[in-house]
Amino acid sequence: MPHVASTDSLPLPNWPPATAAIADSIRDVVQSGDWGSYTAQAAKLLASQLASAFQVEHVRLCGSGTAAIELALQAVQVRPESEVILAGYDYPGNIRAIESVGGKPVIVDTQPGRWVIDVDQVENAINDSTSAILASHLYGNLFDAERLRAIADTHRIALIEDACQVHGASLAGRPAGSWGDVGILSFGGSKLMTSGSGGAMLMSDDRIAQRATLAAERPSPVAPLCGLQAAALLPQLSTLPAWNAQRRVAVGRLKDRLRPSRLWRFAEETPGEAETTYFKVAWFLPPAVDREAVIAAGLAAGIPLGPGFNGFLRRARRRYRTLGELRESGICGERSVVMDHRVLLANAEVIDCVAERLLAIENAIGVTVDG
């Protein structure tokens, strides 16, 4: 493992945030006794505010983003043997959700130099068995939702938009999550809005919303979000725009400091009119660099680095219909390094220190390739 000189611990913010507003919101629900209700007022208020923020007609709160994906597949009528198109690099739970409802995944490649579905390949994958496209915005990369929406409409198939990582992002003036027949949010783990676990379905079609209700309620919800979780999320929805603005500024600062680097290469920007946000900041390493060594050096330097998703190409080629060699998806799985968004909520001095330590890792490794 390369040695990086002197690394005092970095004063990174904690996440989830321990704010007075979140504590007060949860306390109010506890004191009211409403937290024990199947239909807590906090949950109703959260659904209403999410509908307004994401410009949709219907919101169904769920126990997780994965549960929301599965319910979405049922709501858009993915049936046994129906095909669902998705990228060869994605959250593994998405492909499992397709299988869980009896659908057949169809794998297309990611866009070169980015972590999102290659829209150019989607139309070639559509056939008479295709029911839906499931596409994810990942690591601050936004897929071309406007174009993918048009393809789905032309072929009369559903678009499920996984916006779990990009709460508050927008494309062509519309919120990410509002382009799909169903948009998906996750509130799990360290997401940009978190309640430990949880998710939401965003919908504007009355028929899809009704089918989601029929799939989810038997007669009580099978994958609910409780009132206490909703109470934790309500203040976060209010502060999300300010936090996202801070994250964007921090990423801009990192890009500026790391501009000369051959190791820390950012992906291409989202084309067109778009404003993204970051759950993870990600880089593609050059092909000859030892990713495990880079991540270990980053962790030793106090920087929360990881490999991102492992990908599912080996299983995909054996079990599913695939288009082409999926070369770019392989690169995503093998050469991605991601950094947790809590770094981005630190002050400018810490951001500069992170950049210096990342460059020190590069110097210690001695990157000489340009691939």
Report if residue 15 sits inside a domain. no
pLDDT at 36: 87
Domain end residue (candidates: 190, 209, 236): 236
Rounded Cα–Cα distance for residues 254 and 260 (Å): 11
Q: Which helix (H) or strand (E) holds 120?
A: helix 119-125
Q: To the nearest 10°, the Cα dihedral for 49, 274, 147, 53?
A: 0
244 shares a domain with 211: no
pLDDT at 3: 42
DSSP, collapsed to helix, strand or coil, labels residue 96 as helix
118 shares a domain with 104: yes
Cα(first)–Cα(last) distance of the chain, in Å? 22
140 shares a domain with 41: yes
Q: What is the mean pLDDT of residues 28-49?
A: 94
Q: Is the pLDDT of residue 258 over 70?
A: yes
Report if residue 73 sits inside a domain. yes
Which tens digit of pLDDT belongs to each residue from 86-122?
999 999 999 999 999 999 999 999 999 999 999 999 9
311 shares a domain with 213: no
Report if residue 3 sits inside a domain. no
pLDDT at 4: 43
Burial, 88: exposed, middle or buried (Cβ in 10 Å; 0-12, 13-18, 19+)? buried
Contact between 168 and 244 under an 8 Å Cβ cutoff? The reply is yes
204 shares a domain with 352: no
Where in the sequence is the domain holding 336, given as residue range(s)? 240-365
What CATH number has the domain bearing residue 99?
3.40.640.10
- Domain count across the chain: 2
Percent of the chain whose predicted confidence (pLDDT) is above 70:
95
Q: Is the pLDDT of residue 371 over 50?
A: no
Report if residue 7 sits inside a domain. no
342 shares a domain with 314: yes
Report if residue 344 sits inside a domain. yes
264 shares a domain with 197: no
248 shares a domain with 212: no
What CATH number has the domain bearing residue 322?
3.90.1150.10
Report if residue 98 sits inside a domain. yes
The model's pTM: 0.94
218 shares a domain with 88: yes
Which tens digit of pLDDT belongs to each residue from 279-303?
999 999 999 899 999 999 999 999 9
49 shares a domain with 196: yes
DSSP, collapsed to helix, strand or coil, labels residue 311 as coil
Domain end residue (candidates: 206, 236, 266): 236
pLDDT at 367: 64
278 shares a domain with 246: yes
Domain end residue (candidates: 212, 236, 260): 236
Res. 268 pLDDT band, cuts 50 70 90: confident
Report if residue 13 sits inside a domain. no
pLDDT at 1: 36
Query: Beta partners for 133?
Result: 85, 159
pLDDT at 216: 94
Which tens digit of pLDDT belongs to each residue from 312-328?
777 766 688 999 889 99
31 shares a domain with 93: yes
Which tens digit of pLDDT belongs to each residue from 147-171?
999 999 999 999 999 999 999 999 9
